[in-house]
Amino acid sequence: NTIDPTKPLLALTFDDGPGPYTMRLLETLEKYNARATFFLIGKKVLERRDVVKKIDKIGCEVGNHTTNHLQLTKCTEEQIAYEIDTTNVYIESIINKKVDLVRAPYGSANPLVRRTVHTPLIHWSVDTRDWEVLNAEVVKHHVLEHAKDGEIILMHDVHETTVEAAIELIPILIEEGYQLVTVSEMAQVKGYTLQDGDVYHRYK
At residue 41, what are phi and psi to the nearest 5 degrees?
-90, 125
Residue 106, phi-psi category: left (phi > 0), alpha (psi -120 to 50), beta (remainder) = left
For residue 94, count other CB atoms closer than 10 A to its CB.
Answer: 19
Distance CA 153, CA 37 (A): 10
Hey, which residues are catalytic here?
Answer: 15, 156
Question: Integer distance in angstroms from the first to the last C-alpha of the chain?
Answer: 22
Distance CA 201, CA 16 (A): 18
Handedness of CA 102, 176, 32, 23 (dihedral sign): positive
Distance CA 192, CA 148 (A): 18
